[in-house]
Structure 1
Amino acid sequence: MAPPTRTPRSTWIEEGLRALAGGGPDAVRVEPLAKTLGVTRGGFYWHFKDRQALLDAMLETWEQLGAQGVIERVEAGGGDARTKVRRTAELIFTGGMIPTDLAIRDWARRDPAVAERLRRVDNRRVAYLRTLFGQFCPDDAEVEGRCMLAFSLVIGNYYIAADHGGSTRDQVLATAIEYLVA
């Protein structure tokens, strides 16, 4: 008889991030995750000491994928700074990262350690945008303004419920991004 197959650590983390995106940190519980994965919760303890260890691993993964991972993917595609800004927006808007990001932002309002991690990630993201905008904007104030607008666009887009006349949300976002890189 073959030994039982363990659910990989990364699968627990991915499912934890999905639960976080859907219901915040309180939704990340071992028993429901095990049920969703179709495994016993005993397999969880092969990879994590406790729930906090899973939460920490989830935040590490989010930080890596949401900051350095995006930057690496954008850079791998090559192109000039304007192309990279567009690619960054495309990855963020279509990559499915925003629900998790928003859940972490909400969590950070109540947890100082999460708030510090969020600040670190946001600073890394803005630093990257500064390098891109700085390649075609000679004015430091304009670079900061474009960074703020780009970041606000990404986060605020999910809180705006307004209709856009005869345009779709995707069309409006594409126009906004073109203004940022003009």
Structure 2
Amino acid sequence: MAATRTPRSSWIDAGLRALAAGGPDAVRIEPLAQALGVSKGGFYWHFDNRGALLEEMLDAWERISIEEAIAQVEQEGGDGRTRLRRLFALASARGDLLRIDLAVRDWARRDPAVAARLRRVDNRRADYLRALFGDFCADEGDVEARSLLVGALWIGNHFMAADHGARSRADVLELALRRLLA
């Protein structure tokens, strides 16, 4: 009987969880193997080294946060506002992706190659937002401002500690998103 190998995707997923929890320094082969309940020898069946795993983790993050997200939003069609609402709902539901995204942003401050990849991802996201807002905003400046505000809201909201009086954070986010879609 052939030995069952831990799938490559399991190593990548475990690496992304470790990245989200502790940054790139937390992505270590032995702790990942322990988290997966396997020996670290299986790692080398799939990857030449830790660097190869980190690259594939970034590939997965980019694919999930761009291609898969856009495909999911576009799947049901609709006008720009409808697709933006779907995008906002998807982003809100994917807290795991946000934690990975924030870890990649922190990593990019120290690694020029990761910074270049982050710029590519952010540019692709901004292009998609411009297309969606452009569906109902005629003014290019308005499209650009709304696209920037969505990106800043997506990232910056998680660094804000402010209270909102009688309103919850979710209520205020909903108000902000409604204004962006007006």
TM-score, with length taken from structure 2: 0.97
SS in 2 for 1:162: coil
1:175 corresponding residue in structure 2: 175
1:60 corresponding residue in structure 2: 59
User: Structure 1: how far apart are the matches of 2:164 and 2:43?
Assistant: 46
SS in 2 for 1:6: coil
1:90 corresponding residue in structure 2: 89
Correspondence list, 1:45-124, <5 A: 45-96=44-95, 97-124=97-124
Offset, 1:93: 1.7
2:142 corresponding residue in structure 1: 142
TM-score, with length taken from structure 1: 0.97
Offset, 1:102: 0.2
The code of the aligned residue for 2:76 comes to: G
User: Structure 1: how far apart are the matches of 2:34 and 2:144?
Assistant: 46
C-alpha RMSD of matched pairs (Å):
0.8
Number of residues paired by the alignment? 181
Offset, 1:77: 2.1
Range 79-88 or range 10-19, more displaced:
79-88
Query: Gaps spanning 5+ residues in structure 1: where?
Result: none
Offset, 1:20: 0.2
Q: Deviation per CA, 1:83-134, whole angstroms, max 9, x where unpaired? A: 1111111111211210000000000000000000000000000000000001
Q: Percent identity?
A: 59
1:39 corresponding residue in structure 2: 38
User: Structure 2: how far apart are the matches of 1:46 and 1:172?
Assistant: 48
User: Structure 2: how far apart are the matches of 1:55 and 1:94?
Assistant: 25
Query: Gaps spanning 5+ residues in structure 2: where?
Result: none
Offset, 1:169: 1.4
